[in-house]
Structures are given as C-alpha cells and as structure tokens.
C-alpha cells in the first residue's frame, strides 16, 4: 500500500472507532505466564496457561504492528503475564524499533528479571519502562507476590536508571488494608528520586472482581485530594507515553505522582487503546469480553484481513465500562495484557 498523500487518504487509512476515538496505542501480551503470583492478578494455584505453539511468534507480532501503524497506531506496549519470561524479549523490542514505523515501544514488567535484561533493552532502544512494585516493604512485597524478592526488583530499577532508561515509571496497585498505608512513603520518595510513581485503582477484572478483593478497592481520586492538602501536590502538564495516568507533583520534587483512576474518574471517552492477547485475539476494550481473532490472518500473512480485523474491533469498541454499576470482567488480566 502506498503512503497516503492527501488528507482524505490519511483520514480513510487511520482507524477511528465507532465513538469517534482514534486508535493510537496497542498493548501486546507476549505471554500469559508470569513468574509472580500476585494475589489480585494470578494467585498461587492458577492453571490453564497457553501452549507455546499457540503464541504469536515475534514475526507475527512485527507483522501486526506494521499493519497497526498503517492504521494510525504509533505506540506499542509489551506486557503479559510477565513479558521478560518470554525468551529473547529484547530482540522483539529491537525488531519493532527497526522493522516497523512505530514511534514508541514501551514495556511493563514486574522487574524480577529486569537487571539482566537492561543492557539488551537499552541497546534495543526501548523508549519507556514501567515496573510494577506494590510495596516498599520486603515482607509485604513477598506476601502480595507470593514469589518475589523486592531486592531483585530494585536492582533492576537501578540498572535501568543507570542505563538511561527514562522516564522510569513505578505502578503501585493500592489495596485497602494491604498497602494503602504506604501511599505517603511513595510520595515522599518522589522528593529526591526522578521517578513517576503511579497509583492504580483495582479493576474488577479476573481475580480483581472477587468479593474479597472488591472490598479492598480504594478510591484514588479521594486519596489524591488528601495528598493535595497534605503534600501540596499540584497538577502538571506532561505527556508520558500514551496511557491514562494524570500527573501531580510535590513542590520542588524530582519525581512526579500519577493516578490511574478507571473507576473513580473514568477516562473511557479518551481511550485510544486496543489490546492483543498472546494468542492473537484483538480486544478493543479491557472491560468487555469482546475480541476479534487475528491469529489465522496473521499466520497466513494476510495483511488485508488483519486490517479488516482492526476495523471490526473499532466498530465493536464500547463507549465505556459498567464497573461502577457492579459489572465484572471475567478474564484474567494476565491473558488480556494488563
Ligand atoms: N507482569 C507485568 C507487571 O507486573 O507489570 C505486566 C502485566 S501486569 C498484569 C500489569 C499491571 O496490571 C500491573 O501493574 C498490575 O498491578 C496490574 N493489574 C493486575 N490486575 C489488576 C486489576 N485487577 N486491577 C488493576 N490493575 C491490575
């Protein structure tokens, strides 16, 4: 296909969903497996993982991203499961950066395997890195993740900072009675560390929808208002990737504080994101169990059919979620690519 050379052709080529939102971002799960067993995501004893022959290969992923870029996607985030348990992940980053026109490639990881992967990720020219760390306390971190050592994660974060992977974002999923007493300590950390600490609200997705977890939900819009009073947190204008976080700052701090509030302050009207599961299902919305299977078209090398699948997903993308009305999403976060 020739590059579009008029505005009309451009408008035709780019993907705008049924609600008029342009699709700019693709979140790709490279595996549904994980080396941690976080209680709210993939608890100990979880079974029923994909077989490796069912996963999209790196060639497959590069092909989809090329087609997605033709449709206006300019940002890709690799996730999972835990993306770094997929062998050779930095090679995929390098291929996306050199073999597709995508503007930004980002990675979300639990950080356990980060330190050893930092040199290859840096030389692959990874644009953005997010590390999920739900507690500053070693014992608590272990209790939440079942298997993780926080020392491994901090070594990875330090190595990433030293390698110049910037901005460095830390995701903290806040749970009542589990880690909500650490919010102030995280905010304090931004005073002299150039980190973006982002607090996430629990979504009723997969395990997160269980009755036990539902009562651990924390309204982060309320938390933000309290932090504005207690720390003088003020909103800042910043673009950090393509995500839904909005950012605030303690006066004179080196770092920033972000809030991801899908429930208390939803941003569905601005959602520019699709998700691709590790087995090639394209999901236009995290909250709804709608998907368009693309694996056959990808493996057949049929770019027109892949493009048609994206357009079909655009036609299916709902206006928003029904979580505030008690809606649940019955699929594991680790398979959708959280
Ligand atoms: N393994 C990687 C990691 O730990 O970042 C990537 C996958 S993990 C599913 C991505 C993010 O989803 C993590 O920050 C995790 O805290 C978040 N997450 C998982 N389940 C969630 C839920 N029910 N609600 C909100 N966030 C969730």
Which stretch of DSSP H or E encloses residue 154?
Answer: helix 150-162
Q: Is 106 touching ligand 1 by the criterion CB < 6 Å?
A: no
> Which domains occur in the chain, in start order?
19-336 (3.20.20.70)
pLDDT at 175 over 80: yes
Percent of the chain clearing pLDDT 70 (strictly above): 96
Ligand 1 test: best mutation among 43, 82, 132, most atoms within 8 Å of CB? 132
Q: Is 28 touching ligand 1 by the criterion CB < 6 Å?
A: no
Residue nearest to atom 4 of ligand 1 (CA): 110
Quick one: pLDDT at residue 1? 41
Averaged pLDDT score across all residues of the chain: 94
Residue nearest to atom 13 of ligand 1 (CA): 132
pLDDT at 2 over 60: no
How far, CA to CA in Å, does 174 sit from each of 40, 119, 161, 213, 295? Answer: 11, 31, 24, 11, 35
Half-sphere exposure of 333 (CA within 13 A, CB side): 19
Q: What angle do CA 121, 125, 126 make, to 5 degrees?
A: 60
Q: Where are the beta strands (DSSP E) in the chain?
A: 25-29, 75-79, 104-109, 128-132, 168-173, 195-200, 234-235, 246-249, 256-260, 273-276, 281-283, 292-293
CA 4 / ligand 1 centre spacing (Å): 37
Half-sphere exposure of 2 (CA within 13 A, CB side): 4
Coil, helix or strand at residue 150: helix
Q: What is the pLDDT of residues 94-146, one digit of tens each?
A: 999 999 999 999 999 999 999 999 999 999 999 999 999 999 999 999 999 99
Give DSSP secondary structure letters for 257-307: EEEE-TTTT--GGG--EEEE-TTSEEES-SSS---EE-HHHHHTT-HHHHH
Q: What is the pLDDT of residues 194-239, one digit of tens each?
A: 999 999 999 999 999 999 999 999 999 999 999 999 999 999 987 7
Percent of the chain clearing pLDDT 90 (strictly above): 88
Q: Is 79 touching ligand 1 by the criterion CB < 6 Å?
A: yes
Euclidean distance between CA atoms 229 and 171, whole angstroms: 22
Q: Is 145 touching ligand 1 by the criterion CB < 6 Å?
A: no
CB 30 within 8 A of CB 62: no
pLDDT at 6 over 60: no
Q: What is the pLDDT of residues 244-273, one digit of tens each?
A: 789 999 999 999 999 999 999 999 999 999
CA 244 / ligand 1 centre spacing (Å): 14
Radius of gyration of the chain, Cα coordinates, nearest whole angstrom: 19
Euclidean distance between CA atoms 234 and 228, whole angstroms: 7
User: Crossing angle of helices 89-99/114-123, nearest 10°?
Assistant: 20
CA 63 / ligand 1 centre spacing (Å): 26
Q: Which atom of ligand 1 is nearest to the CA of 173?
A: 16
Q: Which residue has the higher pLDDT, 287 or 9?
A: 287
Residue 105 is classified by DSSP as E
Coil, helix or strand at residue 243: coil
Quick one: pLDDT at residue 3? 46
User: Crossing angle of helices 89-99/58-70, nearest 10°?
Assistant: 30
> Look-up: residue for tokens 């609600």?
19
Residue nearest to atom 11 of ligand 1 (CA): 338
CB 143 within 8 A of CB 38: no
pLDDT band at 12, cuts 50/70/90? Answer: low
pLDDT at 70 over 90: yes
CA 35 / ligand 1 centre spacing (Å): 13
Token pair recorded at residue 55: 């996963």
pLDDT (mean) for 48-52: 95
Q: Is 110 touching ligand 1 by the criterion CB < 6 Å?
A: yes
Q: Is 203 touching ligand 1 by the criterion CB < 6 Å?
A: yes
């Amino acid at each position: 296909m020739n590059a579009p050379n008029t505005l009309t052709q451009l408008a035709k080529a780019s993907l705008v969903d049924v609600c008029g939102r342009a699709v700019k971002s693709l979140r790709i799960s490279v595996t549904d497996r994980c080396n941690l067993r976080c209680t709210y995501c993939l608890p100990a004893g979880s079974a029923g993982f994909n077989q490796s022959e069912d996963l999209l290969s790196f060639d497959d992923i590069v092909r989809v991203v090329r087609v997605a870029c033709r449709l206006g996607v300019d940002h890709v985030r690799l996730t999972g499961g835990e993306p770094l348990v997929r062998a050779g992940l930095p090679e995929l980053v390098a291929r996306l950066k050199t073999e597709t026109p995508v503007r930004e490639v980002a990675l979300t990881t639990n950080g356990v395997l980060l330190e050893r992967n930092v040199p290859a990720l840096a030389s692959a020219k990874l644009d953005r890195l997010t590390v999920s760390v739900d507690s500053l306390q070693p014992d608590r971190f272990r209790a939440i993740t079942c298997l993780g050592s926080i020392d491994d994660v901090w070594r990875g974060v330090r190595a990433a900072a030293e390698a110049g992977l910037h901005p460095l974002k830390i995701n903290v999923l806040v749970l009542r009675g589990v880690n909500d007493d650490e919010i102030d300590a995280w905010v304090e950390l931004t005073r002299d560390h150039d980190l973006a600490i982002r607090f996430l609200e629990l979504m009723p997705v997969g395990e997160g929808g269980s009755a036990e977890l539902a009562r651990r939900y924390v309204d982060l819009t309320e938390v933000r208002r309290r932090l504005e009073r207690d720390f003088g947190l003020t909103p800042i204008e910043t673009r950090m990737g393509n995500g839904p976080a909005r950012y605030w700052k303690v006066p004179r701090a080196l770092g920033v504080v972000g809030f991801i509030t899908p429930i208390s302050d939803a941003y569905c009207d601005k959602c520019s994101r699709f998700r691709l599961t590790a087995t090639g299902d394209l999901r236009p919305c995290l909250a709804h169990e709608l998907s368009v299977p693309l694996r056959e078209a990808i493996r057949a090398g049929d770019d027109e059919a892949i493009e048609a699948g994206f357009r079909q997903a655009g036609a299916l993308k709902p206006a928003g979620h029904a979580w505030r009305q008690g809606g649940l999403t019955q699929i594991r976060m680790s398979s959708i690519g959280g």
